[in-house]
Structure 1
Amino acid sequence: MSIEKTYDEKDMVDTSVSPVQDYSSKQGDANGYVDPYAQFEKEDNGFFRNFIDGFKPLDFGEIDPNLSDVERANLIAARAPLKRSLKNRHLQMIAIGGSIGTGLFVGSGSALATGGPAALVIAWILTGIMMYCTVQALGELCVAFPVAGSFVQYNTRFISASWGFCMAWNYALQWLVVLPLELVAAAITIDYWNAEINSAAWVTIFYFLVLFINVFGVKGYGEAEFIFSFLKVLAIVGYIILGIVINCGGGPEGGYIGGQFWKNPGAFAAGFKGVCAVFVTSAFSFAGTELCGLAAAETENPRKSLPSATKQVFWRIALFYIISLTLVGLNVPYTDPRLLGNSGAAASPFVISIRNAGIKGLPSVMNAVIMIAVCSVANSSVYGASRTIASLADQGFAPRIFGYIDREGRPLVGVAISMIIGLLCYLAASSHHADVFNWMLALSGLSSIFTWGSICACHLRFRRALQVQGRGTDELSFTSQCGIIGSCFGVLLNCLILMAQFWVALFPIGEAANPTSFFQVFLCVPILIVWYFFWVFYKKDYKFFLRSKDIDIDTGRREVDLELLKQEIAEEKAFIRSKPFYYRVYKFWC
């Protein structure tokens, strides 16, 4: 058997466990798989007619009414007809630069002013390690179960329906709120060049740009993110080179800097409490890293592309975040007044360092990159929100109409809801827009922390279920490089971040304790508690977590013959071991 053989997903769908009726009258392939889109691909009624027909619903069969809620959710997630149009290059670029946005380019400025350069590096390193462990755990789950809704659905599968309901709505709300926030941020970046035009005009342009991209479904999202991410990566690599030149005194007006700003004004702005305060900003900058897992169900071959994509996260953390922020901390003192009290590029430490060096023209280029990054995050927010909303309906957590998916594989109702909420961006023209958006941000401020902690917890529960049910990791085509230790670290660090944020929210740096400042940081937590207990009492489901022996570890698996899979994995490992050292290192990290 050839070790380098690749498999199309159609050859790996397990229909033996599916009580879903056939999509059509076709016989399917050797494994019984029938492509739900095949009946439409051959029809050609003209461009306009095909375009209209594409919005019609795609019927993917009926489901056994005797299934439990969890079984039904697992089955529908495995069979949800999202189109697998994302290619390997799309997933790789989404993993490398998909979530790079205002958190890094602008938010790092306020973090530098709050904590100092040492706090900046410490917070991003610890959060980065946690994120790498989380994405590795997510990669293992998504390769085994590339189902619609992905990690949102894993909470229901591996923990409990009540926790799944809580986390699914938490994640949906996070992305729903991000869209109007990013649209306003995009309009603000234009003020760097022209502040006279009403922000509503720019908001409208960006709004319809995001809508236009999402009309083309997952392929539109993939192509847009490929371009956006490439430009962001190119800009950060360019800044790293420029930052070294600036630090060494290569700027027209700047002399040698070295590490003088770490001595004066100092490495820490507020000691340990300053480090704790920076964690929420570092977490915000990594938000969206998990989208490569959400996209797993819409890739051509998750088993081939997803493991490589999860490994790319290491390079993004090490090269793009840690190195660039180290240079920012070296080149900009945390006492610079421009870091606070401004918005957009004016508060970006990247732009400030270039200005301090007296380099003309490049600040405008950096502002353009920030605008691209903002549009990228806005585009990702519609993708993330729409897929999560569809998953909510699949699991019975929202009205069934929310799960509407058309013949082009677009979750239309999810996209529509996201764009309707996005209209809140026009509040930018209101005199009280700052207060409104501060509270909107509070709704999603800590959402990512809960999401990442839950991913690690799901991984631990999956491994435990394998052990209890007499199964092993030898049946997994990809296993987390960090193992269960990495997931334990991820759960622990997320809990510590929540504790640190509670402390900072209750006793803000340089301010007296007050309810407003507390809830603007910690509002997400009481909302999650309300959601959790609402589901518990509404469904009268008092099961805190599923027992390991009852966890479903088969529905949604892409491999039909586990013994054949084990043999292939063993041969692949033997093949890699036979290669030179440099090849083994490359396969481990890439």
Structure 2
Amino acid sequence: MAEFGDVKNLAYGGTSTVASHHVYNEDVRFVDDHERKDLARGLKQRHVQMIAIAGAIGTGLFLGLGGSIATGGPLGALLGYLFVGAIVCAIQFALGEVTALFPVTGSFVRHSEILVDPAMAFAIGWNVVYGNFLSVPSEISAGVVLIQYWNDTINPAVWVTILIVLSILVAIIFIGVYGEVEFFFAILKILLVVGIVIMGLVIDLGGVPGKPRLGFHFWKTPGPFVEYIAQGSWGRFLGFWAVMSNAVYSFAGVESLAMAAAETRNPRHNIPKACKRVFARVTIFYILAILVVGMLVSSDDERLSNESGTAAQSPFVIAASDAGIKAIPSIVNAVVLTSAWSASNQAILAGTRTLYGLALKGHAPKFFLRTTRYGIPYMCVAVQMAFSFLAYMCVSNDALTVFFWLVDLTAAGVLISWITVALNHIRLIQALKKQGYPLHALPWHNSWTPYGSWFALVSCIIILLTGGFAVFTSGNWEPSSFVSSYLDIPLVLVVFAGYKLIRRTKYVSLSDIPIAQALDEAQNDPENVPILKEVWWKRWNFLW
């Protein structure tokens, strides 16, 4: 045991003159020895940023915007996505600040053990693992539906097998390969978003021969808002509020960029930098896309209610078809297919690294710590890929119904994860103040983040509790909607309470949070070096 004195000349923006007399164990490190020795730092800054972008830009953007327009109207949908975009901004900055201090595998799951309660880490961690384990067969099933848009004569089991094999290859090879695959997919998505936004503006402004200029015609008729469930202003507000649940799940994935922090080069600088940049780019893409969609397609267009799961339900495809552009459906379907595969890869990364992080802290069997010579936790990958065989249930309609009920169990997991990120950050800020450290002592900090985390925490709790409000209205009861909206909440609470009772864990006191040790580790981390300033031409690179 050793005494830690003044934290001075922290090298990240200030000097602390506050003496800390907290005792800590020099043999215990936040970044575990297994992480240091067994995992490979194969993810570069561009990989980390593109992993987040690839995860957030997917079916929610290409296929789901039409449903948001139909529910809330063009202005209601735009406001809903702007509001959730602000939440995502706060979550990203909170995640970046905590990760810069604790760059560990498992990200916010491990953070909650240090900052809140080991029981919370156990409950949230296994919820994340379960959700990601089921996301892989879910995305593979979605990929099969997308492939059948072109060819529905081949047995779906063939496509399931091919997609599983591809997923296994990406998961088990060096982490840098995964980074390059996601980098490529993200480039495709960004190019498609830019392309369809430009196409939409050309169509809207009358650039297609024989087609009139639309302008904001659909904002006037049928109107900027849609009445949802109720009539009048209350109905228009409910339409706007219903959009936010769609928006949350569209942005899902941005919180996973820090899951592989121990496999990222210079994580104390690269992950915060990625958090800062990614939210802005993703939000801009969504805002531009939904603004253009609102100008191209009427909110009362019956085709927006198409639930085929293929490009046929995309509002961009609907607009292109109306304009006589025939190539767009296949292009959109192809990129959405890469989105499904990308989402599957990201679920494998988040699920396996969370499971590895749980094993490090004794919340999962130790054999999950075994890694290949290239730093891949192969036992975690093996278990997760075993779950991918559930995708064969898509061959049978009855089995597929049961499978999606299993998926629905963790549909609220995104909001629970965001709540955890915000709570971790709030506890960190409170611990700094309690122990007398200035906020600028953190490796990375922004002055408004303490307020942003409270905003995100309260907003996420409200959306979580009200997200399924429609099922409680007259004539709208659906068991599957109720399950997907609420069942995950008692599941997490029961696991949390059960672990706390069995292990008799205690909430971490603000005075006992090891701030001094964390700052000391950050200061003496050989990789914690400022990123060199970019040459002038790289500053024009809007991608990474």
TM-score class, shorter-chain normalisation, is 0.7 to 0.9
- Structure 1 residues 374 and 481: CA distance shift in structure 2, 3 A: farther
Superposition pairs for residues 423-462 of structure 1, below 5 Å? 423-462=389-428
Structure 2 contact 105–262 (Cα < 8 Å) conserved: yes
Offset of residue 18 of structure 1: 4.3
User: What letter corresponds to residue 178 of structure 1 in structure 2?
Assistant: S
Aligned equivalents of 2:123, 2:216: Cα separation in 1: 46
How far apart are residue 331 of structure 1 and its match? 0.9
- Which residue, out of 494, 513, 517, partners 2:460? 494
CA displacement, residues 283-328 of structure 1 (integer Å, 9 cap, x when unaligned)? 1111110122113221111133223211212332332111111111
Cα distance in 1, alignment partners of residues 434 and 527 from structure 2: 21
> 1:154 matched to which residue of 2?
111
| Match of residue 374, structure 2, among 402, 405, 408 | 408
1:527 aligns with 2:491: yes
Are residue 324 (structure 1) and residue 289 (structure 2) matched? yes
Structure 2 partner of 1:10: none
Aligned runs of 1:27-42 on 2, under 5 Å? none
Please tell me whether residue 132 in structure 1 is matched to residue 94 in structure 2: no
Q: Which amino acid aligns with 2:259?
A: L
- Given the superposition, is the C-alpha separation of residues 255 and 487 from structure 1 closer, same or farther in structure 2, using an over 3 Å criterion? same
Aligned AA (2:296) = N
1:552 aligned residue:
514
2:206 is matched with which residue? 249
Deviation track 1:220-272 (CA, whole Å, cap 9, x = no partner) reads: 21011111111111111111111111111223564221112122222222122
Alignment CA distance shift 1:293-1:469 (3 Å): same
CA contact 2:31–2:103 (8 Å) conserved in 1: no
Structure 2 distance, partners of 1:474, 1:522, is 39
Mean CA deviation greater in 94-103 or 385-394: 94-103
Give the letter for the 2:261 counterpart.
A
After TM superposition, give the deviation of residue 107 of structure 1 in Å: 2.2
Q: Give the match for residue 354 of structure 1.
A: 320
Q: Distance in 1 between matches of 2:64 and 2:383?
A: 28
Number of aligned residue pairs: give it. Answer: 512
User: Which amino acid in 1 is paired with 2:394?
Assistant: A
Counterpart amino acid of residue 325 in structure 1: I
CA separation in 2, counterparts of 1:557 and 1:356? 59
Alignment match of 1:195 (pick from 152, 156, 165): 152
How many angstroms does 1:177 deviate by?
Answer: 1.5
1:517 aligns with 2:481: yes
**1:462 counterpart letter in structure 2:** L
Residue in structure 2 matching 1:105, options 24, 47, 62: 62
Q: CA deviation at 1:502?
A: 4.2
Measured in 1, the distance between the counterparts of 2:265 and 2:49 equals: 13
Equivalent residue, structure 2, for 1:506: 472
Task: Name which of 472, 479, 488 aligns with 2:445.
Answer: 479
Cα distance in 2 between the residues matched to 1:558 and 1:348: 51
- Distance across 1 between alignment mates of 2:65 and 2:37: 39
Give per-residue Cα distances to partners, 1:94-129, cap 9 Å, x unaligned. Answer: 233342111221222322222222232122111111
TM-score by length of 2: 0.87
Where does residue 40 of structure 1 map in the other structure? none
Aligned-partner residue type, residue 103 of structure 2: P
RMSD value, Cα: 3.1
CA contact (8 A) 1:74 1:555 kept: no
- One-letter identity of the residue aligned with 2:245: V
CA–CA separation in structure 2 for the residues paired with 1:564 and 1:217: 23
CA distance in 2, matches of 1:276, 1:208: 40
Task: Write the mapping of 1:99-248 to structure 2, written as runs, cut at 5 A.
Answer: 99-248=56-205
Offset at 1:402?
2.4
Q: Deviations over 1:374-405 (max 9, x none)?
A: 11111111111110111111122222222322
Partner of 2:169, secondary structure, is helix
Matched, 1:343 2:351: no
Identity %: 35
Q: Measure the CA separation in 2 of the matches of 1:422 and 1:528.
A: 23
Counterpart CA distance in 1 for 2:435 and 2:399 is 54
Gaps of at least 5 residues in structure 2 are 1-8, 13-23, 229-235
Secondary structure of the residue that 1:257 maps to in structure 2?
Answer: coil
Mapped partners of 2:518, 2:36: distance in 1: 8
User: Which residue of 2 is the match for residue 299 of structure 1?
Assistant: 264
Q: Which runs of 5+ in 1 are unaligned?
A: 5-15, 21-70
Preserved contact between residue 253 and residue 358 of structure 1 (Cα < 8 Å): no
Q: 1:112 to 1:437 in 2, by over 3 A?
A: farther
Q: Matches of residues 6-155 of structure 1 in structure 2 within 5 Å?
A: 17-19=25-27, 75=32, 79=36, 81-155=38-112
Q: 1:518–1:164: structure 2 CA closer, same or farther, 3 Å change rule?
A: same
Q: Structure 2 counterpart of 1:351, which letter?
A: V
Name which of 231, 240, 248 aligns with 1:283: 248
Letter in 1 for 2:286: Y
1-side partners of 2:203 and 2:246: how far apart?
26
Give the superposition deviation at 1:425.
Answer: 0.7
Give yes or no for contact 1:80–1:148 (8 Å, CA) kept in 2.
Answer: no
Aligned partner of residue 444 in structure 1, secondary structure: coil
> What is the deviation of 1:533?
1.8
Matching residue's letter, 2:238? K
Match of 1:62 in 2: none
In the superposition, the TM-score normalised over structure 1's length comes to 0.80
Q: Aligned partners of 1:174, 1:563: CA distance in 2, in Å?
A: 33
